[in-house]
Amino acid sequence: MNISLFRQMVKLNMKNFLCFGFGSALYVVLMTSLYPLFADNTEAVNELIKIVPETMKNALGFDSLTSYGGFISAEYFGLFFPIILGVFSVMTATQLLAHLVDKGSMAYLLSTKVSRSQIAFTQGFVLISGLLLIVSLTFLGGIAAGEALIDEQYSLEFYTFFQINFVGFLLFFVVGGYSFLVSSLCNDEKTSLGTAGALTFIFYGLDMAGKISPDFEWLRNITPFSLYNPSEIASGDAEIFVPSLILFGMGCFTYAAAVVVFKHRNLPL
């Protein structure tokens, strides 16, 4: 890794990192502030849940909105968190490699005697650092909001909330990894953005389809999103060690593949 390049790229992207990070944290705070309304109307919420079709409950994680863990995992980590982190991962991965090739900036970087491997490895680490910052701010925002706004009887355990965020980080470690691999293969920014975005949309859609219909449950086996189940983690029913190990391995493989591909491919410089 090239430290000078890392510092410069983090500096260039820090505003983007903080916008996504604070946006995610503020949304968790907002959702947490709404939970007391649900807690005070438990019977009405239960009746509403009964109306929702079973398939939709499975897809959206609406089984236990009356607990704070079930509420925050369904309302934020099951819906908006994947969208926010998915957009960030695809967009940033494209900006860090394909954008530089497309705009001609990569020729300048290579002229500084920094090797292709160093550039790709450093840019990948920038993306991972951004993801880690966003998830950390989300975690801290959720913990602070929970302490300030949620009664102790409804509160989510620190370790459980950490697990939700940790496995979420590993999921988008993978999404960022294959997006970075696509970016390393493309000379055109739009092609990279479209391909990585389409892959993410397809994976997320397959996971939702598998949750909605038992006939299509097998589709979940081909998407990394199936390894992240925030509602089950919140309820204590999820096994996180094996999914975490699989996600970590997939992420490492895709980032390593991106470095190798970028090192050996022909660039239009």
What is the phi/psi pair of residue 160, to 5°? -65, -45
SS3 of 267, please?
A: coil
What is the four-CA torsion angle of 11, 15, 18, 20, rounded to 10 degrees?
Answer: -130
Q: Domain for residue 143, yes or no?
A: yes
Task: Please tell me the predicted confidence (pLDDT) of residue 180.
Answer: 94
What would the two tokens of residue 127 be?
């993306």
Q: Domain for residue 269, yes or no?
A: no
Distance CA 262, CA 134 (A): 27
Task: Please tell me the predicted confidence (pLDDT) of residue 194.
Answer: 92
For the chain, give the DSSP string: --HHHHHHHHHHHHHHHHHHHHHHHHHHHHHHHHHHHHHTTHHHHHHHHHHS-HHHHHHHT-S-TTSHHHHHIIIIITTHHHHHHHHHHHHHHHHHTHHHHHHTHHHHHHHTT--HHHHHHHHHHHHHHHHHHHHHHHHHHHHHHHHHHS-TTTPPPHHHHHHHHHHHHHHHHHHHHHHHHHHHH-S-HHHHHHHHHHHHHHHHHHHHHHHH-GGGGGGGGG-GGGG--HHHHHHT----HHHHHHHHHHHHHHHHHHHHHHHHS----
Q: Domain for residue 89, yes or no?
A: yes
Q: Domain for residue 25, yes or no?
A: yes
Task: Please tell me the predicted confidence (pLDDT) of residue 66.
Answer: 58
pTM of structure: 0.87
Query: With b meaning 16 or more CB within 10 Å and e meaning fewer, what string describes 106-129?
Result: beebeeeeeebebbbbbbbbbbbb
Task: Please tell me the predicted confidence (pLDDT) of residue 245.
Answer: 95
Distance CA 176, CA 96 (A): 11
Instruction: Name the domain count of the chain.
Output: 1
Task: Please tell me the predicted confidence (pLDDT) of residue 210.
Answer: 78
Task: Please tell me the predicted confidence (pLDDT) of residue 122.
Answer: 92
Task: Please tell me the predicted confidence (pLDDT) of residue 93.
Answer: 93
Domain extent for 149: 3-264
Q: Domain for residue 168, yes or no?
A: yes
Q: Domain for residue 35, yes or no?
A: yes
Task: Please tell me the predicted confidence (pLDDT) of residue 187.
Answer: 84
pLDDT (tens, 9 = 90+) of the chain, 269 residues, equals 788 888 888 999 999 999 999 999 998 888 888 777 766 565 555 555 555 555 555 555 555 555 677 778 777 888 788 899 999 999 999 989 888 887 777 777 777 777 888 899 999 999 999 999 999 999 999 888 878 777 665 566 778 889 999 999 999 999 999 999 999 988 888 899 999 999 999 988 888 877 777 777 778 888 998 898 888 888 777 788 999 999 999 999 999 999 999 888 877 66
